[in-house]
Amino acid sequence: IIAETGAGQHGVAAATVAARFGLPCVVYMGATDVERQKPNVFRMRLLGAEVKPVTSGNGTLKDAMNEALRDWVTNVESTYYLIGTAAGPHPYPELVRDFQSVIGREAREQIMAMEGRLPDALVAAIGGGSNA
């Protein structure tokens, strides 16, 4: 499993899944983000992931994604890129957008069936960063 992460949530999720299924996991993370997000880096490593700080460019998520893509295209036969953002080559943006919309449609259908109207407010967890 190859992944990229900014704040670290996607990296922790990828490391968790990889650990659960006994798969190796490499998480690319901008060097700047590695310093800012030490608790998530600790969690990823605790789960067995190799966290690779990216120093090219500005050392941010964009640069981490570039390195993850380089790794993936070089090792496409033996790796799977578990992309964590709504960016990248086709069809990734559409996959993220379409699959992320499922929960919204389901919540709307359920609240309309139960209450007959949409709520005045909605509270939701965040952390998907740029996910659609």
Least confident of 28-37, 57-66, 85-94, 121-130: 121-130
State phi, psi for 131 to the nearest 5 degrees: -60, 145
Which stretches does DSSP call E strand in 69-126?
none
Sequence ranges of the domains in the chain: 2-74, 90-132
> If pLDDT is split at 50, 70 and 90, which confidence band does 86 have?
low
Query: DSSP secondary structure string, 14-73?
Result: HHHHHHHTT---EEEEEHHHHHHTHHHHHHHHHTTPEEEEE-STTSSHHHHHHHHHHHHH
Task: Give yes or no for residue 132 having a pLDDT over 50.
Answer: no
Query: If one looks up domain 2-74 in CATH, what number appears?
Result: 3.40.50.1100
User: What does each C-alpha distance from 69 to 42, 54, 104, 119 come to in angstroms?
Assistant: 23, 13, 29, 41
* pLDDT for the residue 126: 60
pTM: 0.72
